Amino acid sequence: MKIEGRTFVISGGASGLGQACVEEICRNGGHVAILDLNAENGAELVSNLPKGVARFFECNVLETESITAAVAGAVDWIKETGKPLAGVVPAAGVSTPATILDRNGDAFNLDDFDFVMNVNLRGTIDLVRQCLVHLAKVEPVGEDQERGIVVMVASSAAFDGQKGQVSYSASKGAVTAMTLPLARDLARYGIRVVTIAPSLFESRMTAMMSEKVKRSLEKAMEFPRRAGKPEEFAQLVRQSIENVMLNGTVLRLDGGMRMPSKISRIFPGIWEYAQHGRQDKHLINMSSRGGNGGSNLPNFQWASITAPPVSKREGTLPPLQSGNPSGHGPKPKPLEPPCKPKLK
């Protein structure tokens, strides 16, 4: 399918990998409805793109009503431009790292699990299903009579989950599992489904890494020995749109990288950062430029992530302190091994 002259809906499109997808599609003649919670980032992105090729719609993927309103707005905009809907890229996602048992032997909080699943899984399928109602009515094009495509975002954690990624791996694993049945459901409509599973990509955190940390990461990499670039993710999204034979499949975008079981060995203190994320239930982006509501909270960019402005979040993060390389709160204490359950 050609991108030129067609419209794509992208959630999490105001920052990170989602933003890279917006820019790539617009660069190739497409139009984009940008869905995100961060209105400031969204407005800035639209202003930096050619006039009329993108429009921002504030959207919280945790709320069906919010998605409904955003999709309705996008459909009205499509009627104005005359550029038919051709696809949806649900790129919003979160991660709140936590081991199943903490250092005291207590089970992790199910609220955190529900939060991750609701954003990464339910938010994805909710946006997809609402867009499909409109996409299935679009006039098919080309010799294959194609109507469009769904490009979902999973993660290498779906296959190689690290310590503390039970919730995240489960949510992204579910996204990969939906790919083939969705493709089979939609075959009769001429709609394809592709899922991309990225590994470590450039983010605020990778920019902060010391040379020692970078060298440690390189040990887990094959080739190339570096984090992926957002534009490389966006290129694969574009290629998925253009190549009609890509359907019902999950594409790993990781350069052969397989992460070690413990992230903390690579980046000590990750659990302290994660605590801030778990306390802030609306902190959806923890990695990309301006994507976390103005904070400097770092995290691995395993997938594209959306973000709310500060006014949309519950609670605040600790003030920046110069003594901590993370930029947040007091310097993390050395990590203690988790408590081993006593056998009776």
Which residues are within 8 A (CB) of 125 and not within 5 positions of it... i.e. 6 or more apart? 178
The DSSP H or E segment spanning 197 is: strand 191-198
Contacts of 157 (CB under 8 A, 6+ apart): 165, 168, 169, 172, 302
Type of residue numbered 296: N
Please identify which residue in the block is written with the tokens 């930029």.
327
Given a contact cutoff of 8 angstroms between Cβ atoms, the answer to whether 247 and 240 are in contact is no
CA dist., res. 172 & res. 299, Å (int) = 17
Active site residue 273: no
Q: Which of 108, 115, 168, 201 is catalytic?
A: 168
Beta bridge partners of 149: 87, 192
Q: Which of 113, 115, 61 is closest to 89 using CA atoms?
A: 61
**Residue 194 near residue 245 (C-beta atoms within 8 A):** no
Q: How many residues does the chain have?
A: 344
Q: Which residues contact 245 (CB under 8 A, 6 or more apart)?
A: none
C-alpha dist (Å) from residue 112 to 55, 161, 272, 273, 306? 32, 17, 15, 15, 17
Residues serving a catalytic function are: 168
